[in-house]
Amino acid sequence: SEPTSEKRQRKEVDINQFSILPIDDTFYTRPQIEGDKITYNIVAQKTKQEVSSGIKLNLYSYNGTVPGQEIRVKVGQQVEVNLKNELDQPVTIHWHGYPVPVDMDGVPGVTQNAVKPGESFQYSFTATVPGTYWYHSHYKSAEQVDLGLYGALIVEGDRQTELDRDYTFILDEMNSKGKAGPKGMMGSSNDDLFTVNGKSGDLISAYEIQTGENVRLRFINAGYITHYMNLGSIEYRVVAVDGQAVMDPQIIQNKLLPVGPGERYDVEFTAPDSSFFIREMINTPAADGLIIPLINRTSKKTLDETEYDGIFTLIGSGIATEYASLASNKYDQEYKMVLSHGMKGMGMIYTINGRTYPDIDPLDVKRGDIIKVTLESKDMMFDHPMHLHGHFFQVLSKDGSPVEDGAIFKDTLVVKPGEKYELAFIANNPGEWMFHCHDLNHASSGMMTSVLYD
């Protein structure tokens, strides 16, 4: 459940109990670089990982750790990723949020054949836009992503040289009994371990900062619920959403940063003359295990944690990304998608216009079209983080009021119970593109369609 404004008993933690991992001991291995080409070799494999003190889970990973190998490239580079499958079931890699050519999109049975056990597949695409993205398997993804087949895709742009620190925080929920895949009625609420970079509690590493440094934190949510991050009393700026740079980012303080499933938020701040914690603030005991220490070794102080006074809302906060608005356009096609759920036999189904995938007509568009999509939730129970592959869409309106601030472009949008959004995107990347809920349990139980054109 969402954080409330009531004071919540905070778990006392001592900042000295956390250790700073040298960067090379984490999940970074070196890519090969040859001219403009950068190559990563990724092996999908079984991995046993201690996620919380004494709790070792049998997981799947790309290169031996959850999250997998961070893929970090620069705009303009030709990216080549050689995937080898050493699991006993098929896998793929989908580049979440990245506008790759469709045959590189990693959807088995749609854009490529699943990579079978023992087989390999080479992904290649050009790094065209900077930002924070991520990658994950799209084969039985409700289960495989839950088991750890995900990692960050960071595309560095011009601003990279202005950053003194650049940390990636991938948020997730896990289950101490190691169960993955379809959850109970309430989705992921059985998950009792909230993780950052595959660790919970004392095993979370500390991240170093020094007074005055320009620090960027890239939050990625690989899980199925929204995580509400409290950055203490730090004055921070949201500099990118879903990878798209924000123009004139405003200073935010004492507001929780909500990171929905599949979404990314990049924040920057000037490092204070003290250490501090970032905490998850959802009202559930698992949240106490998600505390990220940022340690300033030149200081003996730890920032007091002030009470937060609200939740940052993207829409209505004056944020605009660096794209020309599609708002006053004529739309070539208009679609409406009503989101809901129901029962089928003993199981839950999640529906678009009353139907489940593949029994839903694709959005049939033409190259160059500007398409308007209305997403309306008639679901009074579940959030539906809707994700469109291969494109960025603009959020035009929420609950009937136009988004006045400017053009917010995203690839994943959390539609809460009863909400209604209008979106627009340009059909500028031909192919068959999935459009689905990123609670992957919902996607596998029906809430998925596609956009099709050549």
Residue 389 interacts, among Cu ion, ligand C2O, none and using kind-specific CB cut-offs from 5 to 8 Å, with: ligand C2O
Residue whose CB is less far from ligand C2O, 138 or 410: 138
Residue whose CB is less far from ligand C2O, 372 or 387: 387
Half-sphere exposure of 227 (CA within 13 A, CB side): 33
Compute the Cα dihedral for 179, 282, 136, 141 and give only its sign.
positive
Residue 218 interacts, among ligand C2O, Cu ion, none and using kind-specific CB cut-offs from 5 to 8 Å, with: none
- Which of 279, 242, 276, 273 lies closest to 260, judged by CA? 242
Q: How many residues bind Cu ion (CB under 5 A)?
A: 4
* CA pair distance 42, 153, nearest whole angstrom: 13
Q: Under a CB-based contact definition with an 8 Å cutoff, are residues 378 and 420 in contact?
A: no
Residues 311-335 as b/e (b if ≥16 CB within 10 A, e otherwise) read ebebbeeebbbebebbbeeeeebeb
442 sits near Cu ion (criterion: CB under 5 A): yes
Residue whose CB is less far from ligand C2O, 111 or 230: 111
Q: Report the residue from 255, 384, 389, 391 that binds Cu ion according to the rule CB under 5 A.
A: 384
Residue whose CB is less far from ligand C2O, 277 or 433: 433
Closest CB 400 distance from ligand C2O, rounded Å? 28
* CA pair distance 148, 374, nearest whole angstrom: 32
CA 415 to chain centroid: 15
Closest CB 16 distance from ligand C2O, rounded Å? 37
Residue 440: its H or E element: helix 440-444
State which residue has the least CB distance to ligand C2O.
96
Residue 427 interacts, among ligand C2O, Cu ion, none and using kind-specific CB cut-offs from 5 to 8 Å, with: none
Residue 437 interacts, among ligand C2O, Cu ion, none and using kind-specific CB cut-offs from 5 to 8 Å, with: Cu ion
375 sits near Cu ion (criterion: CB under 5 A): no
Residue 262 interacts, among ligand C2O, Cu ion, none and using kind-specific CB cut-offs from 5 to 8 Å, with: ligand C2O
Residue ranges in contact with ligand C2O by CB under 6 A:
94, 96, 136, 138, 262, 387, 389, 434, 436, 438
CA 53 to chain centroid: 26
Closest CB 106 distance from ligand C2O, rounded Å? 8
Closest CB 302 distance from ligand C2O, rounded Å? 36
Closest CB 191 distance from Cu ion, rounded Å? 16
Residue 434 interacts, among Cu ion, ligand C2O, none and using kind-specific CB cut-offs from 5 to 8 Å, with: ligand C2O
Residues 338-377 as b/e (b if ≥16 CB within 10 A, e otherwise) read ebbbeeeeeebbbbbeeebbeebebbebeeebbbbbebbb
Rounded to 5°, angle at Cα 353 from 347 and 354: 35
Closest CB 451 distance from ligand C2O, rounded Å? 12
Q: Under a CB-based contact definition with an 8 Å cutoff, are residues 102 and 388 in contact?
A: no
What residues numbered 400-439 form the site for Cu ion, per CB under 5 A?
437, 439
Residue 216 interacts, among Cu ion, ligand C2O, none and using kind-specific CB cut-offs from 5 to 8 Å, with: none
Closest CB 166 distance from ligand C2O, rounded Å? 22
DSSP 161-186: GG-SEEEEEEEEEE-TT---SS-BTT
Residue whose CB is less far from ligand C2O, 222 or 229: 222
Closest CB 386 distance from Cu ion, rounded Å? 8
Residue 138 interacts, among Cu ion, ligand C2O, none and using kind-specific CB cut-offs from 5 to 8 Å, with: ligand C2O
Residue 264 interacts, among Cu ion, ligand C2O, none and using kind-specific CB cut-offs from 5 to 8 Å, with: none
Closest CB 447 distance from Cu ion, rounded Å? 5
Q: Under a CB-based contact definition with an 8 Å cutoff, are residues 333 and 422 in contact?
A: no
242 sits near Cu ion (criterion: CB under 5 A): no
Q: Under a CB-based contact definition with an 8 Å cutoff, are residues 107 and 121 in contact?
A: no
Read off the amino acid at residue 404.
E
DSSP 343-355: EETTEEEEEETTB
